[in-house]
Amino acid sequence: MYNPVIAVDMYDRNHQDEHARAWWVGRCDALADKILQPTLEPLNPAVLPVPFYGYDPTLRVEPRAHDKCFDIMHVGHNWWRWREISTLLLPAIESIRPKLDGICFVGLWWDVIPPWVRELNLELAIELNVDRFKQLGIQTRPAVPFTEVVTAMSEARINIMTQRPLFRRLKLLTAKYFEIFCADTIPLVMLDPDQAESVYGPAGRELALHGNVWSTLFSRDPGDRSTPMRLVFVCWPFEDQGSGNIIQGYTDAAKAAGHEIVVYACPNERIPLNYSLEVRSADALVFLFEWTTRQYYGDRLDLARLVGKVPRARRIVIDGDGNYNDPITVDGDANHRDEDASRRWREVCDSISDKICQPTLHPILPNVRPFLFYAYNPAWEQPLEFGAKEFTMIYLGNSKYRWRSMERVLQAIEPVRHDVGRIGVVGHGWDEMPSWAAELQMEQAYFADIAYLRKLDVDLMPPVPFKDVIAWMSKATFNPVLTRPTFGYMGLALRL
């Protein structure tokens, strides 16, 4: 309201006339010198941007916490929204209506126009076609208290957020921007993709219902639950390092939901994953690049076959170690040996997909998408029992660029070492240089002061299969989490 008189498409407006605007601005100026608005880009240079509304993790509803009563829901009042609803959203819903179950609009004035509308000259603000709702089988519910908004949203598989045209023009944030992400639902927002990205990050563009609403809504058709999804991971699995546990967790979760995840390779008894060489039926290829972009199975010709069978739009790259960046060096740790290595890594990724993801909330490069690939799996949980632990402290992980962190941990323990029980480290590089370190010129990366480790009577043990990692962690009272300096700099999430 603290703006010039604005009318959007001769429809929505902030003030009736200049007199009303002057009164509002005068009242604000009389109260304070600091005028704030919940937008990242105030129109008035005298206004300060303050995103007053935000995401509250305490409101988050756990997935599958509620039974779904509807396929699509809209929570919000019928206030300057009907024109967009009637011209864009309802035609899109009509095109897939036979595939949908319930549809519900929650809020005021979706079932009847209040009698005071004409008296206050608000006919444009509250328009309605009840017969159109009946034709599409759309139910209406009265408004819910603000404390129940997230719970109400969680009753539907998809929630659609609309915003009055004036708010969209001014890029004003509201509570709905964030409540919809707390609910157990698929959030879709009727915003310009650029605005969605400015609020939610790059992934927000995919949630924006803009332009061809039918196409976006149909691609997320909640009524089509008959076809299982099949994802194929292309990666370099290891028996005793890497992301085997994570991939197996995704595989188990997919199977429980009626879908399938496989790893592109022939079966390997030492690395118990779900393998397959069948690619043509894949809904998506997921290239998981950690220490290398090379393939575990096949050669460059095999890679050509892979990308030839699955369209580029259905291929994704997960850059697990943050190598899709310019060269970065932190405390002796480097993501690349030189600029050429960095360029080659990015060229390989770019040749595969436009979707490059990294396990961080804040990627450095603007074209990289945040995706927290490494996650918590409740199936791994072990009961807390501290009565009979073999170790006071144990660390599972290789020594690669981690000696400085380990040294700080041990230096803190050294003054009270005689009061601390058994200490162990499990992984490559702690008791001797790995066999491949010299060939790859990585002796410095795997450096560890073995004499100091033995001085503190630290048990040095070989790596264990990924399926045994949780059990080994459970042998100790506590486990430190050590990360490479470059990982900390890039904010990469850890596997363990």
The verdict on 340 and 416 lying in the same domain is no
Q: How far is CA 108 from the centre of its chain?
A: 33
* pLDDT above 70 for 299: no
What pLDDT does residue 297 have? 47
Q: pLDDT digits over 173-226, tens only?
A: 999 999 999 999 989 999 988 999 999 988 888 888 876 555 555 555 554 555
Same-domain check for residues 208 and 288: no
| Residue 92 clears pLDDT 90, i.e. is over it | no
**Dihedral of CA 55/57/59/63: which sign?**
positive
Total structural domains within the chain: 4
- Is residue 480 within 8 A of residue 409, CB to CB? The reply is yes
Q: What is the pLDDT of residues 66-90, one digit of tens each?
A: 678 899 999 999 999 999 899 888 9
Alpha helices in 310-458 (DSSP H): 339-352, 403-413, 450-455
pLDDT score of 484 more than 70: yes
The answer, as to whether pTM is greater than 0.85, is no
In whole numbers, what is the pLDDT of the chain averaged over residues? 87
For residue 285, the enclosing domain spans 230-370
What CATH number is attached to the domain comprising 71?
3.40.50
Same domain, 153 and 186: yes
Give domain status of residue 1, yes or no.
no
| Among candidate residues 466, 470, 280, 282, the one with its CA nearest the CA of residue 379 | 470
Statement to judge: residues 198 and 247 lie in one domain: no
Quote the CA–CA distance of 21 and 14 in Å, as a whole number: 8
Q: Going along 41-195, which residue ranges are E strands?
A: 47-49, 70-75, 103-106, 138-141, 156-161, 186-189
Whether residue 343 is found in the same domain as residue 424 = no
Contact 48, 173 (CB under 8 A): no
Determine phi and psi for 458, rounding to 5 degrees: -90, 130
Residue 279, helix vs strand vs coil: coil
Say what the pLDDT of residue 44 is.
92
Q: 355: which 2 tokens?
A: 């979707």
Cross-sheet strand order for the sheet of 315-319: 275-276, 260-264, 230-234, 284-289, 315-319, 355-358, 368-370
What single-letter amino acid sits at 113?
A: I
Asked if residue 208 and residue 178 are part of one domain, the reply reads yes
Token pair 């993709």 is at which residue?
193
39 lies in the same domain as 84: no
Q: Which two tokens stand for residue 23?
A: 């009164």
Show which of 178, 194, 219 is a domain's final residue. 219
d(CA 110, CA 112): 6
